[in-house]
Structure formats: C-alpha cells, structure tokens
Amino acid sequence: MQLNPLSGKNLTPRLGLLLAAVVAAATLAHAEPTNTIPTLQIKADQVTAKVSPMLYGLMTEEINYSYEGGLYGELVRNRTFKANTTNAVFWNVVGNGIIALDTNQPLNSALNVSLKLDASKASKNSPVGIANGGYWGIPVRPETTYHASFYARGNGFTGPLTVAITSTNGETGLASATVPKITKKWQKYEVTLTTGGIAPSQDNRLVISTVKRGTVWFSQVSLFPPTFNNRANGNRPDLMQLLADMHPAFLRFPGGNYLEGNEIWTRFNWKNTIGDISGRPGHLNDGWGYWSTDGLGLLEFLGWCEDLKMQPVLAVYAGYSMRQRHVAPGDDLKPYVQDALDEIEYVNGDVNTPWGAQRARDGHPAPFALNYVEIGNEDWFDKSGSYDERFTQFFDAIKAKHPQLQVIATTKVKSRVPDLLDEHYYRSPEEMQLHALDYDTYSRTNHTKIFCGEWATRVGSPTPNMAAALGDAAWMTGLERNSDIVLMASYAPLFVNVNHGAMQWRPDLIGYNAINSYGSPAYYAQQMFSTHHGDTVLATDSQDIPTVSRQPPARRVNGVDQPLPPEQHVPKLFFDATRDSQTGTIFLKVVNSLGTPQPVKIQISGASAVEAEGAAVVLKADRPDDTNSIQEPARIVPVTEKVDGLGTDFTREFPPYSITILELKTK
Ligand code: AHR
C-alpha cells in the first residue's frame, strides 16, 4: 500500500474552505528535486478489496439554477408568479396593457396568486399580452415541438389568445398557436408550438397575447421542450446525457442545504412536491436564495433515477435547519419521523399501502427499489448537539419498519451504529493532494463504512479547471483504492447555469446556458474513473514519489501567533490499480500533477505475462488553469490511444498535468 506521508485532520467544508483559501494564499511551495525515477509496483495476485459497485454516484440539489433553469425541462421562469410577492418578476407586458399580481383570483390554495392582464386597450393592430424570457433565454431548435400550457379565466374577455415563441425583440416569430375561447372559469389550455427550419437560438421569449379587449387572469404558464425519454414534466436531454455518460450508480437527493432550508418551514417538504404540478405550492429555497416551484419533486427525482438506472439515496429531513433551528427529539420530532416513514413508503410501498397508492395515483404504480436512506445533512453544524438523539429516533423507526434499509448518518453518533457515515470534503488542490491517502489509514476492523457524499477540489469558476481535475483525480485514486471502506462517493455541486447571477457556489461539475452545456475537466476525470475500473483492488507499492515541500502559515490563536507548523511534503504523483476478474485487464490510474513529463517505472508481479499492446485514456492540459467553458466546451477532453511497449516491467512517461488510465491485458 502507499503510505500517507502526512496526516491531517478532516475539516468541516465551510471552515475547510476558509482555511484552504488562507493556506493557498499564505504557503510557499517548491518542487523537491529528485534524480530518481518513481517506481510503482502492482501485485496482480494480491487483491486488497472489492471495488464497491456503488462507488461512483451523483449528488444533487437546487443550487446555481440546477433544476429550474437547468435540468428540469420547464422553460418559463416564475411560471406560478410566486417568486416575488409584490412584482411579477421575469414577466413583461406586451403592447398597451397592464399586468399585476392578483391574490383575489387564485387558481387554488397552492397557487394562490395569479397574473392579471388588463387588455382593455388591445386592438387589431396593437395586441396586448404577457411575455416571459425564460431562464436567461428560451432555447429554440429547428423542427421541434414545444408544449405550452396555462390556466386562464376571463372577465369581459372570451379570447382568442395567441401563444407564440418569438425572438426577444419580437421581430421574428418562431412558432405559434391559437386558443380560440377563454371562459369565465379557471380552465387549463394546452397547445403545441412547432418550429420550422430555423437556426437554433436562445434569445427568445414566450408571448401570450390578444387583439380583443377585456381582462384575463393567468396561472401556471408553462412551456416544455422535448424531454429525456419523453418523460412528462421531465428533464433536459443534453444534461441527462452528460450524466448518463458517467454511468452513475446512485443519486443522492434532494440536497444538501436544499433539504434543510434555513428555517424549518423552508425545508424540502416532500409532501408538497408530489401530485399534479398545479397543486404544488412551491417553496422559498432560502439556502440558495431563490424560489422553487417544486416541479422537480419527489416522483421526478425517482424518475430521474429510473431513467439513468441509478439507485436512489433518499435524504430525509431530520429536524435541523441551517439557522440553528432544531426540533427537539421525542414527541416534537415524531411528526418528522412519520413524514420520513411516509416518504419511504411513497418510494417503495406497494399499491396497497396508503403512500404507495398515492404514488400510483401520481402515475407510478410500481414501487422503486430503495436501499439507502440518509438522516439529514451535515448535522455537525447543529450546535445544540441534538443529532445523536434525533438520529436514534429516525434510525429506530426506520429499522423497525424496513430492516433492510441502509441508514446513513451525517456525522458521528454514539447511540446507534449507522450503516454508513457521510463525510464531506471541499478543498484546494494542495489540500486534496495532501489528503488523497487519508483513507489508507482508516481501520479495517473498527470503522463505519463511508459515504463520501460531497467532495470537490475548489478551483476554477464557474466550473473546475485542470488543477481541480488533478486534485479530484488524486482524491479518487484514494477512494477507489479504499473502496472496501468508502462504499459510495459523489462530487458536489453537480450543475451551474453559467449566466451572470445564477451561481451561488463554485466550482460546479457541469455548466450550461439555456441551449448549450459542457463538462469541465473534472467532469471528464470522473467519467474516466467511473467507466474504467475493474471489480477488485490490487495491492500496490511505490518508491520515490515526487513531492513538493510547502510551509503552512503560522496560525493565530486568541490573537497570539503560534509557532510555524512543520514543513509539509505534498505528493504530486498518485495512482491505484484495479483488475477485472473476468477479463484479467488491469486498470492502472496515474495522476501526474507536476508541470513536467514524469517517467515512471511500472513493475507488475503475480501475472504470468502482460501484453505489449494495450490502451491509454489520457486527460491533460498545458497549464493547470486551462479549462472548458460554454464558449470552448471541449478544450480538455479524454483521448483514447493505443499503446505499445507494455509488459511486466516497463517505463512510461506521463505528460505534465495529466490523468492517465492504462489498460493492461494480463495473461
Ligand atoms: O454542495 C454545496 C453545499 O455544501 C451543500 O448544500 C451542503 O451540504 C454543503 O455545505
């Protein structure tokens, strides 16, 4: 096994970020020259662990317009007029009309505000209407059918209404349809809008207008493009395809901070996220500062899992919200525990259970397979120290009803033994490298299995650059090598809408605007790792791993400067080896974080022969801050090449700033 040259205390992400930034700014680092070529030994006949089939998964939440303005197909922004209580934000009036929010004409108790359009000055030559510019544009593609729907009622107005997608300046009509008649009562209207041979564009808006006079109210105005697998109320195909290409084993949802909310009442309250979307009140995503319609609700998360063949990792609200609000364990917590039991039943109960029956009414009679439930998120932030007791209450209730479920704790607990412990790490590239071997030191006999449920190397914006990918890859060699302990892992955050004002957190794995999307170098590093590995971990050893020395800054404690901590030696070359027990292929992953080519001697024992020809998948860059972007989405992508000269003892030069997966065919 590789030895950890350094030891380090795991930092909480929020504190860790701060310290990482300070450390990065204040430390001095220099390469330690060595004339010796590093040597890696792979012991093909010594299996140290099985590669967990659940190792590579996804973590998701509504952050950076990940769902609305991102994955969720809806193109209309503020479709329910609830994003702001005083103004119809993201809506504009067309022509000589007046628009205003109206709480006196609600569609129902969930959608308790509507948009009133005074079209009393409409005329044949001067239509009046409402327009929505979407999430930084409405993407339109050639020969494509869009599904528009809205609720409306008229007063002295019977229609018709024209529904159209036009360019933002209104000069070019791209598709349109007519709703001939509007009644006095609320009613849902639906039309399809089909484009012709136009060029793809995003500088567009949805317009609903009339040339007739009167007053009309609107509720839940929606526009959907074709979705992945044509799922109703579904997801954006290009983003789903990027995820599918990662072959993720699981999806941890509905969040992080998004699950907890700042306040108990702004938590992700799953019961408000199911059923017809017109019955979903939505909620303020105050953790990240914008409104959520909850169009992507519990059943949609499950559909997303179904589409990508991922196991759900269901995070249930556990009675803690981020402004240090907690529900006292005991009687006060009981309703929340019951909510979690109901939620589990909604996911996996058969149609004869109350919540299984509800799921069937919502359109999915078949239960979903559920194996993992996580109790809360980052409960180490709960300064009241109530988590142990809260966890116990959830754990006991869940295990009593569903003994087969794996129950995940978000921080250490003493009263029960969780099946998995969720650890989160957000670090600078150097911190990632320093800690890349941490899991090698975890006890094999006395340690709760780990779900590394959020991790990322934090450099690059809005998406990670090559330095981040190198930090991530170093970290992943540690995850994979230790996947007897680390059963599951997921990077976070997953998505960012790259438009100005959309991002709350950086970096994020996948970027997009209304019409285009791209994977960061870190995305490709993960895709390479998750799609190229065997089912067993092989024993390895190494000598002469290059390091960079680094002087961490002195700390001040209570205003007093502390002595300089000892110099650190940050490894710059990382590796692990797995083997496919069926084919015998060895996957050797080598990460060269140095800016110079790195020759490495590779010695393989325990295999009678290694074929001279094999393959290499390589991700590399000229500089650590090289990256992909919405303008240049494929600057850094993996390249697969045939390689020769392999054997049981060979030397290979790994390019500067590179991640390489060598496929070695053994006999
Ligand atoms: O990934 C961003 C945030 O980081 C998550 O919401 C939270 O769990 C963590 O603090």
Provide the pLDDT for residue 23.
33
Provide the pLDDT for residue 6.
27
Mutation pick for ligand 1 pocket among 253, 426, 454, 458 (CB with most ligand atoms within 8 Å): 454
Residue 5 has which token pair? 């040259």
Q: Is the minimum distance from the CB of 257 to ligand 1 under 6 angstroms?
A: yes
In three-state form (DSSP H/G/I as H, E/B as E, the rest C), the secondary structure along 73-89 is CCCCCCCCCCCCCCCCC
Closest ligand 1 atom to the C-alpha of 13? 10
When comparing pLDDT for 387 and 5, which is higher? 387
Q: Is the minimum distance from the CB of 493 to ligand 1 under 6 angstroms?
A: yes
Q: Is the pLDDT of residue 9 over 90?
A: no
Q: Is the minimum distance from the CB of 254 to ligand 1 under 6 angstroms?
A: no
612: CA distance to ligand 1 center in Å?
Answer: 46
256 vs 240: CA distance, rounded Å: 21
Closest ligand 1 atom to the C-alpha of 424? 9
Closest to 624 (Cα-Cα) out of 657, 602, 590, 591: 657
Residue 182 has which token pair? 């509007």
463 vs 475: CA distance, rounded Å: 18
Provide the pLDDT for residue 553.
86
178 vs 207: CA distance, rounded Å: 12
Q: Is the pLDDT of residue 29 over 60?
A: no
Residues 121 and 97 sit within 8 Å (Cβ to Cβ):
yes
Closest to 286 (Cα-Cα) out of 301, 270, 264: 264
pLDDT in tens, 394-403: 999 999 999 9
Beta strands in 32-172 (DSSP E): 39-50, 56-59, 91-94, 98-102, 114-118, 128-132, 145-155, 161-167
227 vs 209: CA distance, rounded Å: 26
Q: Is the minimum distance from the CB of 13 to ligand 1 under 6 angstroms?
A: yes
* Percent share of the chain, pLDDT over 70: 95
Please compute the mean of the pLDDT values over residues 604-612 and round it to a whole number: 96
pLDDT in tens, 54-73: 999 999 999 999 999 999 99
Q: Is the pLDDT of residue 18 over 70?
A: no
377: CA distance to ligand 1 center in Å?
Answer: 9
Please compute the mean of the pLDDT values over residues 595-611 and round it to a whole number: 97
* Percent share of the chain, pLDDT over 90: 93
Q: Is the minimum distance from the CB of 454 to ligand 1 under 6 angstroms?
A: yes
Provide the pLDDT for residue 25.
32
151 vs 129: CA distance, rounded Å: 15
* Greatest extent of the chain over all pairs of C-alpha atoms, in Å: 88
- On average, the pLDDT of the chain sits at 94
Return the residue whose CA atom lies nearest to atom 7 of ligand 1.
Answer: 256
- Model confidence band, residue 454 (pLDDT cutoffs 50, 70, 90): very high
Provide the pLDDT for residue 552.
86
Provide the pLDDT for residue 131.
98
Can you tell me whether residue 229 is helix, strand or coil?
helix
Residues 65 and 497 sit within 8 Å (Cβ to Cβ):
yes
Provide the pLDDT for residue 33.
57
Please compute the mean of the pLDDT values over residues 205-228 and round it to a whole number: 98
Residues 462 and 508 sit within 8 Å (Cβ to Cβ):
yes
- Model confidence band, residue 34 (pLDDT cutoffs 50, 70, 90): low
454: CA distance to ligand 1 center in Å?
Answer: 7
257: CA distance to ligand 1 center in Å?
Answer: 6
479 vs 471: CA distance, rounded Å: 13
588 vs 579: CA distance, rounded Å: 9
Q: Which residues lie across from 518 on neighbouring strands?
A: 511
Residues 640 and 582 sit within 8 Å (Cβ to Cβ):
no
Name the residue with tokens 């993407």.
139
Please compute the mean of the pLDDT values over residues 454-463 and round it to a whole number: 98
Q: Is the pLDDT of residue 649 over 70?
A: yes
Provide the pLDDT for residue 667.
82
Q: Is the minimum distance from the CB of 492 to ligand 1 under 6 angstroms?
A: yes
pLDDT in tens, 244-256: 999 999 999 999 9
- Model confidence band, residue 21 (pLDDT cutoffs 50, 70, 90): very low
- Residue 276 identity: D
Return the residue whose CA atom lies nearest to atom 8 of ligand 1.
Answer: 256
pLDDT in tens, 244-293: 999 999 999 999 999 999 999 999 999 999 999 999 999 999 999 999 99
Provide the pairing of β-strand 449-457 with 215-224.
unpaired
566-601 CB burial, b ≥16 within 10 A, e <16: eebbbbbbbbbbbbbeeebbbbbbbbbbbeeebebb
Q: Is the pLDDT of residue 147 over 80?
A: yes
Q: Is the pLDDT of residue 1 over 80?
A: no
Residue 643 has which token pair? 């390689």
Can you tell me whether residue 192 is helix, strand or coil?
strand
503: CA distance to ligand 1 center in Å?
Answer: 13
Please compute the mean of the pLDDT values over residues 516-524 and round it to a whole number: 98
310 Rama sector, left if φ>0, alpha if ψ -120 to 50, beta otherwise? beta
In this structure, the number of other CB atoms found within 10 A of the CB of residue 229 comes to 13
Provide the pLDDT for residue 32.
63
DSSP conformation letters of 410-425: SS--SSS--SEEEEEE
pLDDT in tens, 150-184: 999 999 999 999 999 999 999 999 999 999 999 99
Closest ligand 1 atom to the C-alpha of 493? 1
